[in-house]
């Protein structure tokens, strides 16, 4: 989709995204009260990622933006993932290599 300067996102879209974000917040709080073991954090981050994606795509207009803008957003996220990935390859393998306790633990276990 080209970067049309006069593209106006309908108010309906904003309202729907807004409601979805509020529902997502409620879901996050509710999900935190259930014991899912190590999947609590997975679910919390899954909901947070969906909320963030809605904000980026619609409030920040990336869905309607030029390919160059999309490429910049994606490259930014990839850079963050490189930081996480290579640091985690170190942290996650420490226990295995040194025979010490595992790095990722779950509270109360």
Partner 1 sequence: MASHSVTLRHHFETSEQQKDASTIGMWMFLVTEIMFFGGLFMAYIAYRGAYPDAFAAGSQKLNIVYGTINTAVLICSSLTMAMAVHSAALGKKNLIILFLILTLMLGGVFLGIKAVEYHDKYVGHEIPGANFHPELDNKNVSVNNVSLYFALYFGMTGLHALHMIVGVGLLLFLIFKTAKGAYTAHWHTPIELFGLYWHFVDIVWIFLFPLLYLIDLHPGK
Q: Where are the alpha helices (DSSP H) in the chain?
A: 11-32, 39-54, 67-98
Q: Tell me how many residues contact partner 1 (CB under 8 A).
A: 51
Within 13 Å and on the Cβ side, how many CA atoms surround 106? Answer: 9
**C-alpha 34: how far from chain center:** 21
Q: Kindly tell me which residue out of 29, 39, 42, 93 binds partner 1, with binding defined by CB under 8 A.
A: 29
Minimum Å gap between C-beta 83 and partner 1 is 6
Does residue 87 interact with partner 1 by CB under 8 A? yes
- How far is it, in rounded angstroms, from Cα 73 to Cα 99? 40
Comparing CA positions, the residue from 61, 57, 56, 50 lying closest to residue 21 is 50
Residues 51-70 touching partner 1, rule: CB under 8 A, are: 51-52, 55-56, 59-60, 65-66, 68-69
Q: Where does this chain bind partner 1 (CB under 8 A)?
A: 3, 5-6, 8-9, 11, 14-15, 18, 21-22, 25, 28-29, 32-35, 40, 44-45, 47-48, 51-52, 55-56, 59-60, 65-66, 68-69, 72-73, 75-77, 79-80, 83-84, 87-88, 91, 103-108
């Amino acid at each position: 989709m080209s970067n049309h300067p006069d593209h106006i996102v309908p108010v309906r879209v904003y309202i729907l995204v807004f409601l979805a974000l509020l529902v997502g917040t409620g879901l996050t709080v509710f999900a935190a009260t259930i014991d899912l073991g190590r999947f609590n954090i997975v679910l919390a981050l899954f909901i947070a990622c969906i909320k963030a994606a809605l904000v980026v795509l619609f409030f920040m207009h990336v869905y309607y933006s030029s390919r160059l803008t999309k490429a910049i957003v994606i490259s930014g996220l990839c850079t963050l993932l490189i930081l996480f990935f290579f640091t985690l390859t170190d942290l996650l393998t420490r226990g295995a290599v040194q025979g010490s306790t595992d790095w990722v633990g779950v509270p109360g276990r």
